[in-house]
Chains A and B, each alone.
Chain A
Amino acid sequence: MTALLQILFDALSLGSLYALAAIGIALIFGVMRLVNFAHGDYISFCVFALLWPSIEATAFVFAGQLPPYLLIPVILTVGACLSMLSEILVFRRFRNANPATMMIASFALGFVIKYTLLMLFSSRPKSIDLWPSLSLPVEIFDARIPLLQVITIVITIVILIALVAFLKRTRFGLEMRAAAENFTMARMLGVRANAVILLAFAISGMLAASIGLILVTQTGTVDIQMGSSVMLVAFIATVIGGLGSLPGAVVAGFLIGGVSVLMQVILPFDIRPFRDAFVYGAVIAVLIWRPNGLFMPRSAKQRV
């Protein structure tokens, strides 16, 4: 029973990360058909924003020393600004380009961000102990669960609720949903395209920042690669969920998190290193079964 509970928390906390990242990607895809491969590098960038640039092995913690009530808004702002900046400088110029071109442009942008970080901080992963008290375990029904896992899940739920409230209850949210569904029609109704897209990028950037904060608290590491693996899974989750469908992205994020934890638990030792092969095999199976994803938005067909 306690083991089961533990596994449940493992799956939920991993799924939370994937879900948050998947929303960030789905949001942008929704409003402008862009699969943003730079998203993972936004995550890394936000994490590096905790440090002062130096190529020494020891991390020079800078912003990371701020109290949480300042640090969180600062990092969220960094994420939002980076994301918006990339829209203004790069993606805005690709409004009518085909998806492949935009995808490669986003990859090139990510490349630039990654190597800029590499130059400023060197490639050696750095260590930082952010909010050590979150690493302590808590007892839940006899299971000792790291507090951070609980917090990750709670934060994800809070972010999801806030996002739903924003989308459902505000004017901007309404316009964003409309723009995600039919961009041109929304514009003909006076929805300001650039503002909506910029806002979507800002939210996406803030989501990247929150993932970065969770990751760095959990791993204690600041590494250039750290966003990439999350981003890849999130990208897949977005497709499985049905591109552009936010609920789909969330569900698929949790699904992939759950499946990988489950595989780690049930696979025998000799096959365990092949875990990802099974996970990706499952991805192919799902795609064959439902090529348009689990939750295809009603209007997606005509556009993709």
Chain B
Amino acid sequence: MKKLLTGFAGATVIMAALGVGIAKADDIVVGFATASSGFMQAYDKPAQDAAMIRIDEINKAGGLLGKQIKTVAADTKTDRAEGAKAGLEVIDKGASLVVVSCDYDFGAPAALAAEAAGKVSFFLCAESIKAGIQGVGPHSFSASVLAAVQGATMAEWSYNKKKARTFYRLLDTWTEYNKGICDGFDWMLPKLKDAKLLGQDTFKNEDTSIAAQITRIKSLPQQPDAIMLCSMMPGVVSAVKQIRAAGIKSMILNGSGVSGGYWLNATPDLSDFYVPDQGSVYGDDPNSAVNDFNKKYKAATGGEPSSQYVYPGYVMIDVWAKAVERAKSTDADAVVKELEKMKDEKTLFGPRTFTSTLHHQNRGRYLITEVKNGKPGVVDEWTISEAIPVEYLMKK
């Protein structure tokens, strides 16, 4: 018992020593309450690296409001309770921007802590409408585009450019993100004349076999033109592999969750497979500045961006810094006000709009990547004809 308490006291002394703020008064502090270990690490780290690149650029160009941007970090361990601690920790260290985990579920605890402290929080790449005002509060934003936009984009694009008329909807019920893709698809489909849903089914990401679901598709009297596959890593690879193995040839539409070519060696002959991307990681982006960024990213981290989810990190610092410049202050309310004035604000990876009711993108330009014989390449670009209404998204 005695030993225990001594050990405990020792630990707290160490904690206290570290807990003391380390930032200088004339620095602007950006706090990363993200995962540097556990499941989310693989998603948070790349986006965080991209954010660091933008911070570096800003610092090299003379800083923000004449001050240098300093960063502090705390590990969420991909755990919600730890996430709240990490949020509190970076706030303690003086962060005026709290960057939280890529996923809404894992980022929310830290974002809520920031909200309570009156700080601006940014989700690295969360794509749920809750990542913002609706799920955290008026000081919270997301740097990415809503998942629903991805589903809607795929439906409208395939209808217009690929003459897809019959669809099948296959939803992996694992995450809100997956459901979001299908929500956008559901919203768009009735707007497309003559487009028909032949059927729908669900599976679980961890299902080792989706044979029963595939059998259901194959027993349809008519095979669909396109399958809207609302899923994500890792289950989606297995699903795609099994769909093609069963001889189903319909084109497969996806969310950005399958962006990046790193997993395609599982399905070397994959074709008729379409993915919405905010920017191309394949080196063929129509905007050469994106290709330049990819080189910069490689120089900084040693590897090419693995998927489009690297990019929102860069966008995040970009728009936030612009807002700070315009507000001439890091004060949360002033920055939020400036952010909300942004309408189709140009960024390297598509325009960004924030309003007083939505701190997320309910419409956005997407590159369309086609996988052909196992090789991905950008083939088109699409922006949905109208923004998805916030009310629709909230009802979901």
Chains A and B form a bound pair: yes
- A residues near B (Cβ < 8 Å) are 3, 6-7, 9-10, 13-14, 17, 56-59, 61, 118, 122-129, 132, 135-137, 144, 146, 148-149, 215, 218-221, 223, 225-226, 228-230, 261, 264-265, 269, 272-273, 276
Supposing A57-B260, A127-B266, A221-B234 touch, asked if A9 and B38 sit within 8 A by C-beta, the answer is no
> C-beta contact mask, B148-190 vs A, less than 8 Å → 1, else 0?
0000000000000000000000000100000000000000000
- Beta-carbon contact of A14 and B265 below 8 Å: no
Say what secondary structure dominates the interface of chain A.
Answer: helix
Check if B218 is an interface residue, CB within 8 A of chain A.
yes
Bound Cα distance A261, B210 (Å): 9
Bound Cα distance A155, B245 (Å): 19
Which residues of the partner chain A approach B208 to less than 8 Å between Cβ atoms?
14, 17, 215, 218-219, 226, 229-230
- Beta-carbon contact of A13 and B41 below 8 Å: no
Check if B61 is an interface residue, CB within 8 A of chain A.
no
Interface locus among B199-207, B315-323, B349-357, B362-370 = B199-207
Which residues of the partner chain B approach A144 to less than 8 Å between Cβ atoms?
218, 246-247
Interface locus among B123-131, B236-244, B272-280, B332-340 = B236-244
- Beta-carbon contact of B38 and A58 below 8 Å: no
Which residues of the partner chain B approach A215 to less than 8 Å between Cβ atoms?
208
Supposing A57-B306, A225-B206 touch, asked if A124 and B245 sit within 8 A by C-beta, the answer is no
- Beta-carbon contact of B211 and A123 below 8 Å: no
- Beta-carbon contact of A220 and B303 below 8 Å: no
Q: Which of B212, B218, B263 contacts A265 (CB 8 A)?
A: B212
- Beta-carbon contact of B173 and A148 below 8 Å: no
Bound Cα distance A222, B213 (Å): 22
- Beta-carbon contact of A123 and B201 below 8 Å: no
- The winner among A10, A59, A61, A264 for most chain B CB atoms within 10 A is A264
- B residues near A (Cβ < 8 Å) are 37-43, 78, 173, 200-202, 204, 206-209, 211-213, 215-216, 218-219, 233-235, 237-238, 241-242, 244-247, 260-269, 303, 306-307
Chain B residue with Cβ nearest A266: B212
Which residues of the partner chain A approach B235 to less than 8 Å between Cβ atoms?
221
Measured CB to CB, the closest approach of chain B to A42, in angstroms, equals 16
Bound Cα distance A132, B267 (Å): 8
- Beta-carbon contact of B215 and A220 below 8 Å: no
Which residues of the partner chain B approach A228 to less than 8 Å between Cβ atoms?
206
Which residues of the partner chain B approach A230 to less than 8 Å between Cβ atoms?
208
- Beta-carbon contact of B267 and A137 below 8 Å: no
Which residues of the partner chain A approach B200 to less than 8 Å between Cβ atoms?
269
- Beta-carbon contact of B215 and A7 below 8 Å: yes
- Beta-carbon contact of A219 and B237 below 8 Å: yes
Bound Cα distance A128, B237 (Å): 10
Q: Which of A58, A128, A218, A276 contacts B209 (CB 8 A)?
A: A218
Which residues of the partner chain A approach B261 to less than 8 Å between Cβ atoms?
58
Supposing A124-B233, A269-B201 touch, asked if A148 and B245 sit within 8 A by C-beta, the answer is yes
Bound Cα distance A226, B238 (Å): 11
9 examples of A-B residue contacts, CB within 8 angstroms: A10-B211, A14-B211, A57-B306, A118-B37, A218-B242, A220-B241, A221-B263, A265-B212, A269-B200
Bound Cα distance A58, B376 (Å): 14
Q: Which of B39, B237, B244, B307 contacts A135 (CB 8 A)?
A: B244
- Beta-carbon contact of A3 and B219 below 8 Å: yes
- Beta-carbon contact of A125 and B233 below 8 Å: yes
Chain A residue with Cβ nearest B199: A269
- Beta-carbon contact of A221 and B237 below 8 Å: yes
Q: Which of B246, B266, B268, B303 contacts A221 (CB 8 A)?
A: B266
Measured CB to CB, the closest approach of chain A to B174, in angstroms, equals 10
Bound Cα distance A223, B208 (Å): 12
Chain A residue with Cβ nearest B216: A265
Bound Cα distance A146, B241 (Å): 11
Bound Cα distance A146, B238 (Å): 13
Bound Cα distance A57, B304 (Å): 10
Q: Which of B41, B201, B263, B307 contacts A122 (CB 8 A)?
A: B41
Measured CB to CB, the closest approach of chain A to B207, in angstroms, equals 8
- Beta-carbon contact of B173 and A273 below 8 Å: yes
Measured CB to CB, the closest approach of chain A to B35, in angstroms, equals 9
- Beta-carbon contact of A273 and B218 below 8 Å: no
- Beta-carbon contact of A229 and B266 below 8 Å: no
Chain A residue with Cβ nearest B234: A125
- The winner among A7, A124, A269 for most chain B CB atoms within 10 A is A124
Which residues of the partner chain B approach A125 to less than 8 Å between Cβ atoms?
233-234, 237, 263
8 closest residue pairs by CB, A with B? A220-B266, A125-B234, A219-B238, A124-B42, A57-B306, A127-B266, A10-B211, A127-B263
Bound Cα distance A3, B246 (Å): 13
- Beta-carbon contact of A149 and B211 below 8 Å: yes
- Beta-carbon contact of A10 and B212 below 8 Å: yes
- Beta-carbon contact of A218 and B42 below 8 Å: no
Which residues of the partner chain A approach B269 to less than 8 Å between Cβ atoms?
132
Chain A residue with Cβ nearest B269: A132
Measured CB to CB, the closest approach of chain B to A276, in angstroms, equals 8
Measured CB to CB, the closest approach of chain B to A271, in angstroms, equals 10
- Beta-carbon contact of B201 and A272 below 8 Å: yes
Chain A residue with Cβ nearest B209: A14
Bound Cα distance A261, B214 (Å): 11
Bound Cα distance A241, B208 (Å): 22
Chain B residue with Cβ nearest A272: B202
